[in-house]
């Protein structure tokens, strides 16, 4: 199957050759089966000619931090927060992550899959082709495996590509509240080995912050994950700096995420280790806060920086990376070009997939987005509108 994309208005993509984002006007882009085979060359015998009608073409978007498998939305907590209730008030009323854990434990795997499917499909509608997808609302071996199996089934059911992460260390479950060491042992001695043996997760993540897991606990969990062949990601430096970013960098984590209160030491540790910063401005925005991550300092220090939605029912109920780009530009002062880089090639780097996705170059997967704009800056500039015109994943057009 050979497809030729013609009448491309402009093409924005990372270039390996120049090591920068390039804005060009190729006459055509050629896709053979699932891969890009040529750009701007003549090609014979296409099976399909796609007239792009002057649209902007970019790589499909990549969302490197999401929590898409949950039972119920939490709009009641949204309303409470607006009315001035604190995190503790909401937790006392049965809200927060533990609310999602109770709801998820109540339903079967099939029910969880049925509820998660339309939400997962919705990523496609705004141009996202690949997501990192975390478990973390089960917090028992069976409920975590149930969540990870749902992620695998979503991956099989949809053109969306899901990269699974085990987040059993999202919170201490209620039944272990006064025995946290036992929960850490359960994670390290039973859950991580069984999750790894199941092949259902590629990464292991820890929410290491004030009131959740300590730096030392994170280190134990990371060691267990590495011993079992899982790679590392981490929720770090969101509320309080516990030195977790430095730890994650030292242990070779693929990414450290949030980073609102990252220190200069944390920034240099990431730069030296190659750990990617995944910034989540949607969370700061949704919680009505002002303390965005210091994206400019992180980027200017030379740390590879990605942007993600943090899609979850409590603190960031959005799947739209176009909106996340707007927030990155207006609140964190990334340029529109940097924001595009952060949701394409840099997001691919954080998922260690930069050789196959994240840019439109020969040999890469034909994950292609067409946008109803003439200029890449319009996507973050004209916010709240879905600018997606059409999406291809692995060379096939996605119908949502």
| Interface ranges with Zn ion (CB under 5 A) | 310
Closest to Zn ion by CB, 63 vs 310, is: 310
**CB 283, min distance to Zn ion, A:** 8
Closest to Zn ion by CB, 143 vs 310, is: 310
- CA torsion 269-263-318-302 (nearest 10°) is -50
Closest to Zn ion by CB, 65 vs 81, is: 65
Residue 207's H or E segment, with its range, is strand 203-207
Closest to Zn ion by CB, 3 vs 81, is: 81
CA proximity to 342, closest of 355, 362, 358: 358
Positive or negative torsion for Cα 112, 113, 114, 119: positive
DSSP-H helix ranges across the chain: 75-82, 87-92, 97-106, 109-125, 141-157, 180-185, 192-198, 215-227, 244-250, 264-273, 281-286, 295-300, 321-332, 336-342, 345-350, 378-381
CA proximity to 353, closest of 102, 96, 131, 184: 131
What is the CB neighbour count within 10 angstroms for residue 375? Answer: 14
Closest to Zn ion by CB, 315 vs 344, is: 315
**CB 235, min distance to Zn ion, A:** 5
**CB 65, min distance to Zn ion, A:** 6
Q: Report the distance separating Cα 368 and Cα 338, nearest Å.
A: 19
Alpha carbon of 5 to those of 41, 96, 126, 129, 253: distances in Å?
A: 11, 47, 20, 19, 38
Q: Report the distance separating Cα 350 and Cα 251, nearest Å.
A: 15
| Helix, coil or strand: residue 350 | helix
* Residue 386: partners with Cβ closer than 8 Å, 6 or more residues away: 125, 126, 320, 322
Largest CA distance in the chain: 69
**CB 172, min distance to Zn ion, A:** 16
**CB 101, min distance to Zn ion, A:** 15
CB 68 within 8 A of CB 131: yes
**CB 316, min distance to Zn ion, A:** 8
**CB 25, min distance to Zn ion, A:** 38
Closest to Zn ion by CB, 310 vs 354, is: 310
Closest to Zn ion by CB, 212 vs 393, is: 212
| Helix, coil or strand: residue 106 | helix
Closest to Zn ion by CB, 319 vs 365, is: 319
Closest to Zn ion by CB, 237 vs 310, is: 310
What is the CB neighbour count within 10 angstroms for residue 252? Answer: 13
Closest to Zn ion by CB, 12 vs 212, is: 212
**CB 209, min distance to Zn ion, A:** 11
**CB 251, min distance to Zn ion, A:** 19
> How many whole angstroms from its chain centre is CA 252?
19
Closest to Zn ion by CB, 126 vs 316, is: 316
Report which residue's Cβ sits closest to Zn ion.
310
**CB 284, min distance to Zn ion, A:** 13
Q: Report the distance separating Cα 316 and Cα 76, nearest Å.
A: 14
* Location of structure tokens 């242990």: 251
**CB 369, min distance to Zn ion, A:** 24
CA proximity to 237, closest of 176, 300, 298: 298
């Amino acid at each position: 199957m050979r497809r030729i994309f013609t009448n491309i208005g402009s093409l924005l993509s990372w270039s390996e050759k120049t090591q920068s984002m390039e804005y060009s006007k190729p006459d055509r882009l050629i896709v053979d089966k699932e891969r890009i085979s040529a750009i701007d060359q003549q090609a014979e015998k296409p099976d399909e000619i796609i007239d792009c009608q002057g649209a902007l073409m970019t790589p499909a978007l990549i969302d490197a931090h999401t929590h898409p498998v949950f039972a119920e939305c939490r709009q009641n907590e949204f309303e409470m927060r607006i009315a001035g209730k604190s995190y503790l008030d909401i937790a006392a009323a049965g809200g927060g992550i533990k609310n999602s854990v109770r709801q998820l434990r109540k339903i079967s795997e099939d029910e969880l899959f049925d509820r998660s499917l339309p939400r997962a499909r919705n990523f496609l509608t705004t141009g996202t082709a690949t997501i990192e997808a975390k478990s973390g609302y089960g917090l028992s071996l069976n409920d975590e495996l149930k969540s990870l199996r749902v992620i695998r089934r979503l991956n099989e059911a949809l053109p969306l590509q899901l990269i699974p992460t085990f987040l059993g260390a999202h919170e201490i479950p209620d039944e272990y509240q006064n025995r946290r060491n036992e929960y850490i042992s359960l994670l390290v001695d039973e859950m991580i080995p069984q999750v790894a043996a199941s092949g259902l997760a590629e990464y292991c993540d820890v929410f290491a912050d004030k009131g959740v897991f300590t730096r030392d606990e994170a280190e134990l969990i990371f060691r267990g994950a590495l011993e079992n062949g899982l790679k590392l990601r981490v929720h770090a430096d969101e509320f309080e700096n516990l030195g977790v970013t430095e730890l994650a960098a030292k242990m070779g984590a693929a990414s450290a995420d949030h980073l609102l209160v990252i220190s200069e030491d944390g920034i240099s540790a990431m730069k030296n280790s190659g750990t990617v910063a995944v910034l989540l401005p949607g969370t700061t925005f949704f919680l009505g806060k002002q303390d965005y991550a210091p994206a400019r300092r992180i980027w200017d220090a030379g740390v590879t920086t990605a942007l993600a939605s943090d899609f979850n029912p409590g603190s960031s109920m959005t799947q739209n990376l176009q909106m996340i780009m707007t927030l990155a530009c207006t609140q964190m002062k990334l340029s529109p070009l940097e924001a595009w880089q952060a949701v394409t090639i840099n997001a691919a780097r954080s998922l260690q997939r930069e050789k196959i996705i994240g840019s439109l170059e020969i040999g890469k997967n034909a994950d292609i987005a067409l946008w109803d704009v003439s200029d890449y800056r319009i996507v973050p500039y004209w916010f709240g509108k879905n600018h997606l015109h059409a999406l291809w994943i692995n060379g096939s057009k996605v119908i949502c």
